[in-house]
Structure 1
Amino acid sequence: MIENNFILREPLLDPKQKVIGFQFSWQQTNSESKLDAENLDYLLEFVAGHLNDEDGFLIGNSLVFLEALPELLHSESLKLFPAKNTVLILHKKYFADESVLNAVKQLRADGFGICLRGAEVSTLERSFFTFVSHIEVKLNASNFASQAKIYGALKQSSIRMVARDVATWQDFDACSALGLESFVGKLHLTPRPGSAQKSLNPSQTTILQLMEMVRKNADIQQLELVVKRDATLAYKLLRYINSAGFGLRTEIQSLKHAVQMLGYSPLYRWLTVLLASANTGGYSPVLLETAIVRGRFAELLGQMQMPKAEAENLFVAGMFSLLDRLLGLPMEEVLETIQLPDVVTEALLTRGGIYGPYLALSEACELNSMLVGSLAESLKIAAEDVNAAHLAALVWAKNVADAA
């Protein structure tokens, strides 16, 4: 049944590691599964419905890549997407059909992108260039010089090249040198080599002090004294707080104002984000964005079945689950630096306790995991609700990451 499908997202990075888009697809436990027009049309409709509202497209300038079949090129669901943000992935074999070519021409005229799949770039006829905006390519490290020549020539056109199956940061750097954008598979969960820290830096030490003070509900004047030691820290904290759309009518102007308006619990979450982004060792921005999505996703899943205040702990658990990779420190060392509730620590170390399954489910949706369905079933959360929370978390995190 279509309603039992779970969404998988894959981030697209530009050569500077910035997240510039996502591909959305259904989890596929069978690699040989064929594309199904009904399933893909439902995906189009569902994603469009959750990434748009009366204010417009909710993830800014990000591109959305979606697999397509010829029968979907006239789908009513496509009209729900902003054309300039939407790229349809279409296999080269379909371009032999004149009706497909005509549909593609119309979509391009309307502003949609078309990504060509299954083409051999070195032998591709120039006539294709008028039909597509992107071409999928695969990096061949053993033939780098030849590829560099081919892709160098393509860069002179308006065609954007997109690398698939980029598995290591070394390969990503090679793609970047060639001017390729990259779908990074599991790489968005992998720290860049050389990003490890030997110890916490001064900003992180200050943030941890603030987190402990917030946990103990310290007097706001004491918190302000600590924050005043680092003007940059205070600025970044307020940027995060004001970025995430609490629905406040006024902008938060100070730490005291934040506590008065929001209380201590939301302040703790922003300090967690700030801690993750304070690494001076050169972590990948996609890793931070993934951590924020995971935290918010786990929190939204928890809100379906537990009080809001308790679910906020799931945000912290989600962020901390990648904090070791963001800081370049072992998880045990990270947990020694700050006192967390036992239930959060249990979720982090074993994915057990009351929070563990929610964290595990949000993690499973980041990869093509066979565990998603069973985890959702164990929590009695319908696939539609999981997917809605996933996209809502992405929208929320995109706003926060843009403020970093």
Structure 2
Amino acid sequence: MSKLLSALESEEQLSVLMARQPIFSKSQDVVAFELLFRGSDGVSLATLKDEFATFDVVMNTYANIVKAGGNQKVPCYLKVTDKVLLADLLPDLPPSLFSLEILGRSDVSPAFVEKLQELSKKGYRIVLADYDPENPKFTVLLNVIHVLKLDIQKLGLSELPGIIQKLKPYQLDLLADKVETKDEFRQCLEMGFTLYQGYFLSRPVAVKGKKINSNKILLLQLLGELEQENATGVTLEEIAINDPALTYKILKVVNSAAFHVPREINSLSHAITLLGMEQIRRWIMLFLSTSQDGKPNELTRNMLIRGRMCELLAELMGHPNTMNYFIVGLLSQLDAMFDIEMKELLKEVPLSSELKNALLYYSGAMGETLKDVEFYERGQFDQLQGSLEKPLYEVAYRHSLKWSDNVMQALLSSD
């Protein structure tokens, strides 16, 4: 059993499954995370109160994000039901780091409204989801809440301007929910939404004839060389010398704490001598997935999380060649990064047909693992197909969050 596998299996397992979904500002910076728990009845929130380990994980991993200024904590949205609130099952959580999201199916009784007012006075920001402008029961809540989620798919983009106009007197932060494309994001931006949630970052905007930029082409050339049986550190450096600045950045990241190298590495050939071709391949893939101009860091972060979690799940399930699982997870959103359709993009990337089919069709064990990782990150825990015990998915996800923070810190400091 590998050292990593031993560490994962000995990690304290939580009694809940959790994932997080980012909430973005107008500039596509992450300003909060919605916590996704297994189950939707809110009862699992009690574990935050009863188990210090769960609370500690939320505070130190799920609420953490790396930005240019270093590690930061951002607020987490917690979905809570009226039953949880009225029965005082809500944990005593710091209001600066937790916003409370109430659901549209809540029974909006006088006691419920009074409880929300009490929590608001304590400093909690109240978020209302599932808003229906035709249902009069929500009107009283508009004077209590701070953030209003509008499901743009359900309400319809064409109806939103009229709805927003009627909401103006309440001076709420409006959150566009289920924003699935860049065009929807642009339209919501023009309407004046403050916050955005959805999978729009993961969708490519296909631009006919768009090409991969020059420094990414060099990385693809390096990957192509790595696929050759006679590749050496010298042959890689002959390619890398065409972009000394990129080579310097790669070596700086390789030397960072994220990779725990035994001593400082000063050349690609030196790195290969110490750590081998497979690790060099990993780092080149990492740089291939780093943000293009105009792309938010969150896209790179999510690619890193996916790659690492695919690799960890493969190791936990005993699959061989776990590095290939890492590559599949990492590159699964490369089309969104480059705004080139995946089928076209993969014509340029030197990968085996097995990896390409996993990326295009979710085929084979690698494709199935990628699908599980996507289920997990969306909070669709009941759809997980793998053979692992469910708590191990959370452990792998948690480790992937921490690992991505370390890598993001190294990448941002190398700019």
Per the normalisation by structure 1, the TM-score is: 0.74
Query: CA deviation digits over 1:351-383, x for unaligned, max 9?
Result: 33343322221123244658723x12xxx2011
User: Within the alignment, does 1:116 sit opposite 2:123 as a pair?
Assistant: no
Query: CA deviation digits over 1:88-141, x for unaligned, max 9?
Result: 2024756744577457645763x5432133557899879966x54422234453
Residues 180-259 of structure 1 aligned to structure 2 (within 5 Å): 180-184=194-198, 186-192=199-205, 194=207, 198-216=210-228, 218-238=231-251, 240-241=253-254, 245-247=258-260, 255=268, 258-259=271-272
Aligned residue number for residue 327 of structure 1? 338
Contact kept in structure 2, 1:88 and 1:115, CA below 8 Å? yes
Aligned residue number for residue 167 of structure 1? 180
User: Structure 2: 5+ residue runs without aligned partners?
Assistant: 1-13, 66-71
Q: Relative to structure 1, is the Cα distance of residues 369 and 278 closer, same or farther in structure 2, using a 3 angstrom cutoff? A: closer
Aligned residue number for residue 271 of structure 1? 284
Q: Relative to structure 1, is the Cα distance of residues 145 and 205 closer, same or farther in structure 2, using a 3 angstrom cutoff? A: same
Contact kept in structure 2, 1:190 and 1:287, CA below 8 Å? no
Aligned residue number for residue 36 of structure 1? 41
User: Structure 1: 5+ residue runs without aligned partners?
Assistant: 29-34
Aligned residue number for residue 5 of structure 2? none
Aligned residue number for residue 353 of structure 1? 364
3-state SS of paired residue (1:365) = helix
Using the alignment, how far apart are the partners of 1:206 and 1:40 within structure 2? 49
Q: Give the superposition deviation at 1:284.
A: 6.0
3-state SS of paired residue (1:16) = coil
Contact kept in structure 2, 1:197 and 1:328, CA below 8 Å? no
Q: Relative to structure 1, is the Cα distance of residues 22 and 49 closer, same or farther in structure 2, using a 3 angstrom cutoff? A: same
Using the alignment, how far apart are the partners of 2:173 and 2:274 within structure 1? 46
Residues 18-37 of structure 1 aligned to structure 2 (within 5 Å): 18-26=29-37, 35-37=40-42
Using the alignment, how far apart are the partners of 1:147 and 1:231 within structure 2? 54
3-state SS of paired residue (1:355) = helix
Which residue among 17, 26, 31 is the counterpart of 2:28?
17
Using the alignment, how far apart are the partners of 2:289 and 2:55 within structure 1? 31
Residues 51-66 of structure 1 aligned to structure 2 (within 5 Å): 51-53=58-60, 58-59=64-65, 60-66=72-78
Using the alignment, how far apart are the partners of 1:215 and 1:9 within structure 2? 36
1:297 aligned partner, one-letter code: M
Q: Relative to structure 1, is the Cα distance of residues 106 and 385 closer, same or farther in structure 2, using a 3 angstrom cutoff? A: same
Q: Give the superposition deviation at 1:67.
A: 0.3
Q: Give the superposition deviation at 1:171.
A: 2.4
Contact kept in structure 2, 1:7 and 1:26, CA below 8 Å? yes
Aligned residue number for residue 68 of structure 2? none
Measured on the aligned residues, the alpha-carbon RMSD in Å equals 4.2
Query: CA deviation digits over 1:19-46, x for unaligned, max 9?
Result: 3333232467xxxxxx424234348868
Using the alignment, how far apart are the partners of 1:57 and 1:370 within structure 2? 20
Q: Relative to structure 1, is the Cα distance of residues 393 and 47 closer, same or farther in structure 2, using a 3 angstrom cutoff? A: farther
Which residue among 340, 351, 354 is the counterpart of 2:351?
340
